[in-house]
A and B are shown apart, each in its own frame.
Chain A
Amino acid sequence: MIEVTDLYKEFDGTPVLKGINATFEKGKTSLVIGQSGSGKTVFLKCLLGLLIPEKGDICYDGRHYGEMTEDEKRNLRKEIGMVFQGSALFDSSSVEENVMFPLKMFTNQPYNQMLERVNFVLHRVNLENVNDKYPAELSGGMQKRVAIARAIVMNPKYLFCDEPNSGLDPKTAILIDNLIQEITDEYKIITVINSHDMNSVMEIGEKIIFLKDGVKEWEGTSDDVFRTDNKAITDFVYSSNLFKKVKEAQLKEGGL
């Protein structure tokens, strides 16, 4: 379990996160949602240790991040898989080299064994015959899948995804969402996804945390999102005409 307690982060005196408390559980896909500028990415970067919070605690299965030595932090990061918004694949390396990179860095496996593992995870994310291709030769959806393959190749305990389906068409976005959820269930990992995509909330949001102006405004499940009276989250959810119409239709049918 990841426990976040009273997390504060500011930039040049401007607070961006104002006392966030949250827990993320094993085998569950948790979504952190909110408008652009709400602090989602900063929150995720604090969880990853890429930003140091001014105050608060992040505890990974009983290990307090703030109390760790540099070596302990590096060791913890080996248990983390991350899918970046822009995939962040090494553009001068092939797909195979990208996915194999963590194995080469952190294991002493022979090449054939590493290749077997690479092919297994590429197959797992439904990619075949792309080993020798370079990231620039792949579509956005394929790049995301390679990024997921690289993130899970070391069997991480924690998987973080920053806007994993931004820039993707709705069908591919749903494929990516479902893939992340399947992997979370299959490997019983703790998955935290930053998103502002309501489709993702509907598809995979087992737990939703809504951030507004650096504050945790609401927390619940994907079903609760459509039932809550919280004005901030209803404004966010029903800012889309599609969802407004869905709500109106459901109200007419007495569904909500």
Chain B
Amino acid sequence: MLQQVFKSPQKRSIFRELIFKEIEDLGISSIGIVAFISFFVGGVVVIQTALNLESPLTPRYLIGYASRESLILEFSPTLISIILAGKVGSYIASSIGTMRVTEQIDALEVMGINSLNHLVLPKIIANVFFYPFVIIISIALGIVGGWVAGNITGLVSSTDYLTGIRAEFEPFHITYSLIKTSIFAFVIATVPAYHGYYVKGGAIEVGKASTRAVVWTSIVIIVLNYILTQMLLGK
């Protein structure tokens, strides 16, 4: 499958149009839900961290520090990717699956178009290049959400929180986060596309393929998360 996917596009101008369309369908349309979830989860992370660091000997700025690390290392790249596996993965599997069962993919093939390349490669490129921006937005809004929650609840002052956010910053953690995101983005485009492309039957099978796609994408993300963490951060 991937050999056909990565062939050179038949017409570059059409291919460019498809990439922009996929960026809109798969990326920009996901920003709203990602922003909403990130903001509130950022708040929850701060509240939970603050409640677990009640000792007077523990500096309060650690709440900001711990929240930042949680958001950068795990929440934004991994959990947001799993959320996107549900939202975007089901969309990819069902849209390609519907094209398969309604013979639209056969129509492309009969026209002499490499359907895998035409349908899947723009999704991969859109995901791999756009999701890192989505995750950066998620990290930023999570931090803002944490700051707002800390202020509203009075659990951590702005000064302490901002001190924590800037404390012992390790730039490689951002790199690690974005590497993970790009790999997960590839998985979110390819696993559901596989399940959709090879579906046989009708509407019920498309639904089942969509569910299977989300489950397998989530499993692959979780396993890869472990492997990548061990490879990139493990000693």
Contact = CB atoms under 8 A, between A and B. Distances in A.
Interface of A: 48-50, 73-78, 80, 82, 84-86, 88-91, 101-102, 104-106, 160
25 contacts: A50-B106, A50-B110, A73-B112, A74-B112, A74-B114, A77-B109, A77-B112, A80-B110, A80-B112, A82-B107, A82-B110, A84-B103, A84-B106, A86-B103, A88-B102, A88-B103, A88-B107, A90-B107, A91-B102, A91-B104, A104-B11, A105-B10, A105-B113, A106-B11, A160-B110
B111 A102 contact: yes
B231 interface: no
Contact of B111 (A73, A77, A91, A160): A77
A75 B114 CA distance: 12
Most buried by A among B10, B104, B109: B104
Q: When A and B form their complex, which 5 residue pairs have the shortest distance between CB atoms, in order from nearest? A: A77-B112, A88-B103, A74-B112, A88-B107, A82-B110
B14 A104 contact: yes
Contact of B102 (A80, A86, A105): A86
A88 B120 CA distance: 19
Contact of A78 (B102, B104, B107, B112): B112
Interface in B84-115: 98, 102-104, 106-107, 109-114
A203 to B, nearest CB: 25
Contacts of B106: 50, 84, 88
A84 B107 contact: yes
Contacts, number: 53
B172 to A, nearest CB: 42
Interface residues of B, number: 15
Nearest to B106: A50
Interface of B: 10-11, 14, 98, 102-104, 106-107, 109-114
Contacts of A101: 111
Given A88-B103, A91-B104, A105-B14, A75 B110 contact: no
Given A48-B110, A77-B109, 10 more contacts: A49-B110, A74-B112, A77-B112, A80-B111, A84-B103, A86-B102, A90-B104, A90-B107, A91-B102, A105-B111
Contacts of B103: 84-86, 88
Nearest to B107: A88
Most buried by B among A85, A86, A88: A88
Contacts of B113: 74, 105
Contacts of B111: 77-78, 80, 82, 101-102, 105
Given A104-B11, A105-B11, A105-B14, A75 B104 contact: no
A63 to B, nearest CB: 14
A198 B103 CA distance: 25
A75 B112 contact: yes
A88 B114 CA distance: 17
A105 B110 CA distance: 13
Nearest to A71: B112
Nearest to B98: A91
Nearest to B111: A102
Contacts of B114: 74
Most buried by A among B104, B107, B113, B114: B107
Contacts of B14: 104-105
Contacts of A78: 111-112
Contacts of B11: 104-106
A50 B104 contact: no
Contacts of A80: 110-112
B108 to A, nearest CB: 9
Contacts of A160: 110
Contacts of A50: 106, 109-110
B160 to A, nearest CB: 51
B117 to A, nearest CB: 11
Contacts of A88: 102-104, 106-107
